[in-house]
Structure 1
Amino acid sequence: MTYAIAEAAHRSGLSIDTLRYYERIELIDPPARDSGGRRAYTDEDLAWLHFLTKLRTTGMPIKLMREYARLRHQGVASVGARKHILVRHREDVLARIEELRSCLQVLNYKIENYERISGSEQDRQEVPA
């Protein structure tokens, strides 16, 4: 099954411009072309785009994504290097998750504090003078 660029963009959640940009910076391989010369993305292309989107969502820099993509072309010979990139990135993601948890605790504390204050004010307003 193949998909035109608009359908690939829709299915991947990326814009057409982003797909072209990823192709230009060699993050994705140029897709096959149909008989009219239009890009024809495969399910495998979409799976790769899905993976790239996850990397990007987790904050992996484009430069490191390009390195990973380059290594991917080397096949099994680059498995160790690709794993190393992902392990290192996982450490960064886990550190950011921990930082976000800490921030969430502060937010929860402030919200609960405001709820206590609001509840106290409401209680005072309901008590007859």
Structure 2
Amino acid sequence: MTTYTPAEAVAQSGFSIDTLRYYEREGILPRIERNASGRRVYSESDLWMLGFLRCLRDTGMSIEQLRQYGELSRNDTTMPERLALLETHAVSIRTRIAEFEVFLARVEEKAAWYRGELRRMGDAMA
């Protein structure tokens, strides 16, 4: 079984070492195994979970929701609850995407205005 050091887990997940420890302490991440000298060793499964947690966090999932997901993930009978949590989060992501599409349209509209003004200024100087 391949294992990874905390530094490798940090490099692959993009989380800081403090965040990894916090996630473990708060139950967001399952308890991480330790080697014979007491150092944390991360498995492929741990890294996959960290990648998924990064996805959830980057898409706006709250720490409380991450904690809930982490707790639910430790029990095989909670798949319906995990599904509901992820479906709710997907709705939130879709809402944010729609909001960003509106913002993007406004920014593009303003950029088009500036292009037009610069063209007019260039025509006036020619």
TM-score (norm 2): 0.96
* Displacement of 1:15: 1.0
Q: Could you tell me which residue of structure 2 aligns to residue 119 of structure 1?
A: 119
Deviations 1:11-68 (A, max 9, x none): 1111111111111111112211111110010010000000000000100001011111
Which position in structure 2 is the counterpart of 1:26?
27
Identity across the alignment (%): 37
Give the equivalent residue in structure 2 for 1:39.
40
Give, as a single letter, the amino acid of the residue that structure 2 aligns with 1:38. Answer: R
Structure 2: which 5+ residue stretches go unaligned? none
RMSD across aligned positions (CA): 0.8
SS, match of residue 14 in structure 1: coil
Aligned-partner Cα distance in 2 for 1:73–1:31: 13
1:110 maps to which residue?
A: 110
Query: Are positions 1:93 and 2:96 aligned together?
Result: no
Asked if structure 1 preserves the Cα contact closer than 8 Å seen for 2:34 and 2:40, the reply is yes
Which of the pair has more CA radius of gyration? 1
Counterpart of 1:15 in structure 2 is: 16
Shift in Å, 1:117: 0.7
Name structure 1 gaps, 5 residues minimum.
Answer: none
- Structure 1 residue 4: Cα displacement: 1.1
Letter in 1 for 2:115: E
1:52: which partner in 2? 53
